[in-house]
């Protein structure tokens, strides 16, 4: 039975210590507002457990009292998945205090880490042990492993190392009943029935609270080469991708597309960020090669491949970084895109994927339909083109007020998502459904697939206390 907030806060305080329970709008407000400031919820309270046993006791109390739980990591979700609704009845369970690295095994090449560990801290710990944890995204200074797992995060190295799902060997999860599932196995081969960990990866907190994980480590690259390359069109970007893959094999670890509009926006809004090329071109690719062999001549390899690409007319121009500082400068163009977009004004964000080969026709088809519906519309398209994943963002025409354009967001979504579906794609490649795409997905997944997801949800969370209002 529901419990009043004072009694609940007292009981939570007994579990985690009173200092780790926040109540009242001023304290809980930041935990109830998303990164882009699009969703303004109201939390019943915020609780910050410090151990798995505490998470388990908190969830058990919620199960007994029918209290809805919103698991939260770094709160960098771009689809409103990590914040409570406006009812004031949902408890935010924030994992940020659980940030320990429990074990690092350089022979098994695994790390056992708690859910609240910030991604950048894990990358640093791996590097200190002469290993690589490859997940890399612009929010890495604040997003946390539990959030990365629960969104099956992607980022800029998926091309070589895969999504978060591909980097996981084991999980520890507190189930909606409060029971603890210890699946912290560090095995690369285990065929003993259903692979349960995959249910929780990408579940956006709707099936349980992840408290720890065993993740894969890789040899640390000793040499990298980074380049910013101008191309005439998305089609040429794909020709460049094929060319570099043929020349450089799996040394290619990142291949990111940025249109002219993206370069203009990021250089206009972000102080110190500039293109190394003499002008803005129709499209640009930021690409990186990594090699575990320090003297492998990776820069020479890249320079050779790019010279050949220019000679063949596949690329228009290229700048190859000659120092780490220059490489960081090139990455700044890409990593500041999300923040620059916020500064540019409100846009309709998309996070789609299509088969890599269909990217050019998708970009053209969606643009033509948007232009028909909103003459003068601005498409701000960038992303992980090497994975077929585009952030196909749309800003209103100059002739239209931002409010008027945003009021027609559903129409914009429909055009982009229908084009995505027609090209065999997915409406969410990495950010997840959250609140933003929860209704939209019903149009694109079959009723049977939706029903299978609901059956899984009911089996694990029969009382529907885990992150209600998200995904399903
Ligand atoms: P949160 O936002 O706190 O939560 C995300 C979801 O996970 C919510 O549904 C939440 O309920 C659930 N959750 C969190 N912790 C747990 C847990 N322990 N157990 C169960 N459920 C949990 N995403 C990409 O994939 N690729 C990118 O390149 C990328 N770039 C980004 C750049 C910027 C600037 C920003 C702001 C975001 C970006 N994102 C990207 C989106 C976001 O950062 C990722 O989805 C990230 O993985 C979320 O981690 P988080 O800790 O912030 O999770
Ligand atoms: C990115 O690739 O930079 C992110 O997924 C964030 C975004 O879409 O803005
Ligand atoms: Zn992305």
Phi, psi angle pair for 50, to nearest 5°: -110, -10
What are the φ and ψ backbone dihedral angles of 344, each rounded to 5 degrees? -70, -30
Q: Kindly report the CA angle at 299 between 297 and 302, in degrees rounded to 5? A: 110
Q: Which atom of ligand 1 is nearest to the CA of 146?
A: 18
Spatial CB neighbours of 184, under 8 Å, sequence gap ≥ 6: 112, 170, 171, 172, 212, 213, 214
pLDDT tens-digit readout, 84-94: 999 999 999 99
Q: Is 115 in the pocket of ligand 1 (CB under 6 A)?
A: yes
Q: In this predicted structure, what is the pLDDT of residue 317?
A: 98
Residue whose tokens read 């220019």: 310
Distance from C-alpha of 286 to C-alpha of 306, rounded to nearest angstrom: 12
The whole-angstrom separation of Cα 134 and Cα 126 is 9
Confirm if 40 and 33 have CB atoms less than 8 A apart. yes
351 Cβ inside 6 Å of ligand 1: no
Shortest-distance atom of ligand 2 to CA 335: 3
The model's pLDDT over 67-112, given as tens digits with 9 standing for 90+, comes to 999 999 999 999 999 999 999 999 999 999 999 999 999 999 999 9
d(CA 54, CA 50): 7
Nearest to 256 by CA among 144, 326, 342, 359: 359
Asked whether the beta carbons of 256 and 157 are under 8 A apart, the reply is no
Tell the residue number behind the tokens 């077929």, with chain if given: 388
Q: Which two tokens stand for residue 86?
A: 């406006």
Q: Which residues of the chain have pLDDT under 70?
A: 1-2
Among 85, 113, 123, 147, residue to substitute to test ligand 1 (most atoms within 8 Å of Cβ): 147
Q: Answer yes or no: are the C-beta atoms of 70 and 90 closer than 8 Å.
A: yes
Domains and CATH numbers, the chain: 101-219 (3.30.465.10), 224-330 (3.30.70.2190), 345-430 (3.30.70.2740)
Q: Which helix (H) or strand (E) holds 389?
A: strand 389-395
DSSP 430-447: SS--TTTTTTGGGGTS-H
Whole-model pTM over 0.85? yes
Q: Is any ligand 2 atom within 6 A of the Cβ of residue 337?
A: yes
Exposed/middle/buried for residue 145 (C-beta within 10 Å: 0-12, 13-18, 19+): buried
Contact 445, 425 (CB under 8 A): no
Give nearest CA residue, ligand 2 atom 7.
338
For residue 430, the ligand 2 atom closest to its alpha carbon is: 5
Q: What is the pLDDT of residue 3?
A: 76
Is the minimum distance from the CB of 3 to ligand 2 under 6 angstroms?
no
- Ligand 3 geometric centre to CA of 426 (Å): 14
Which pLDDT score is estimated for 2?
60
Question: How far apart are the C-alpha atoms of 156 and 5, rounded to whole Å?
Answer: 42
Radius of gyration of the chain (CA): 23
Distance CA 231, CA 363 (A): 15
Is residue 176 in contact with ligand 1, taking CB distance under 6 Å? no
Cβ atoms of 215 and 167 closer than 8 Å: yes
Using an 8 Å Cβ cutoff, are 243 and 308 in contact? yes
**Of 76, 78, 381, 385, best ligand 2 pocket probe by most atoms within 8 Å of the beta carbon:** 78
Ligand 2 atom having least distance to the Cα of 337: 3
The torsion angles phi and psi of 22, rounded to 5 degrees, stand at -110, 135
Segment holding 12, helix H or strand E: helix 5-16
pLDDT at 295: 86
CA distance 368 to 423: 15
Q: 230-245: buried (b, 16+ CB within 10 Å) or exposed (e) per residue?
A: bbeebbbbbbbbebbb
Cβ atoms within 10 Å, residue 30:
12
Which atom of ligand 1 lies at the shortest distance from residue 204's CA?
A: 9
CB of 138 closer than 6 A to ligand 2? yes
Q: Token digits for 63? A: 């199960």
Question: What atom of ligand 1 comes closest to residue 163's alpha carbon?
Answer: 25
Q: Return d(Cα 183, Cα 289) in angstroms, integer.
A: 35
What per-residue confidence (pLDDT) applies to 108? 98
């Amino acid at each position: 039975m529901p419990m009043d907030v004072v009694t609940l806060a007292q009981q939570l305080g007994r579990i985690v210590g009173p200092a780790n329970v926040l109540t009242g709008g001023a304290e809980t407000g930041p935990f109830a507002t998303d990164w882009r400031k699009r969703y303004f919820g109201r939390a019943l309270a915020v609780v910050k457990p410090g151990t798995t046993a505490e998470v388990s006791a908190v969830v058990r109390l919620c199960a007994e009292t029918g209290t809805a739980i919103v698991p939260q990591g770094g709160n960098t979700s771009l689809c409103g998945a990590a914040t409570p609704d406006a009812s004031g009845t949902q408890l935010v369970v924030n994992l940020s205090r659980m940030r320990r690295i429990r074990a690092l095994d350089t022979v098994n090449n695994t790390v056992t880490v708690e859910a609240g560990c910030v991604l950048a801290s894990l990358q640093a710990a791996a590097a200190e042990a002469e290993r690589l944890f490859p997940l890399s995204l612009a929010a890495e200074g604040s997003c946390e492993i539990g959030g990365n797992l629960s969104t099956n995060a992607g980022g800029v190295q998926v091309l070589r190392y895969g999504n978060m799902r591909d980097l996981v060997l084991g999980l520890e999860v507190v189930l909606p009943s409060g029971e603890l599932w210890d699946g912290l196995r560090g095995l690369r081969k285990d065929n003993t029935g259903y692979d349960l960990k995959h249910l929780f990866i990408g579940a956006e907190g709707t099936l349980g609270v992840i408290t720890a994980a065993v993740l894969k480590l890789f040899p640390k690259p000793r040499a990298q080469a980074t380049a910013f390359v101008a191309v005439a069109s998305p089609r040429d970007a794909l020709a460049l991708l094929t060319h570099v893959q043929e020349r450089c094999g799996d040394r290619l670890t990142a291949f990111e597309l940025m249109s002219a509009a993206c370069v203009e926006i990021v250089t206009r809004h972000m102080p110190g960020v500039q293109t190394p090329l003499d002008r803005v071109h129709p499209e640009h690719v930021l690409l990186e090669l990594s090699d575990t062999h320090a003297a492998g001549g990776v820069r020479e390899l890249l320079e050779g491949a790019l010279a050949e690409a220019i000679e063949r007319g596949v690329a228009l121009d290229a700048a190859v970084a000659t120092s780490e500082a220059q490489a960081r400068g090139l990455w700044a163009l890409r990593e500041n895109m999300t923040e620059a977009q916020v500064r540019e004004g409100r846009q309709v964000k998309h996070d789609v994927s299509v088969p890599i080969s269909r990217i050019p026709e998708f970009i053209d088809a969606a643009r033509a339909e948007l232009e028909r519906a909103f003459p003068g519309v601005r498409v701000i398209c960038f992303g992980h083109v090497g994975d077929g994943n585009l952030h196909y963002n749309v800003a209103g025409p100059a002739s239209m007020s931002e409010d008027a354009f945003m009021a027609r967001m559903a129409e914009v979504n429909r055009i982009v998502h229908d084009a995505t579906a027609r090209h065999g794609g997915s409406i969410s490649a990495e950010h997840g459904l959250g609140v933003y795409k929860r209704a939209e997905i019903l149009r694109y997944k079959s009723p049977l697939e939706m029903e299978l997801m609901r059956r899984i949800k009911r089996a694990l969370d029969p009382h529907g206390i885990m992150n209600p209002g998200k995904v399903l």
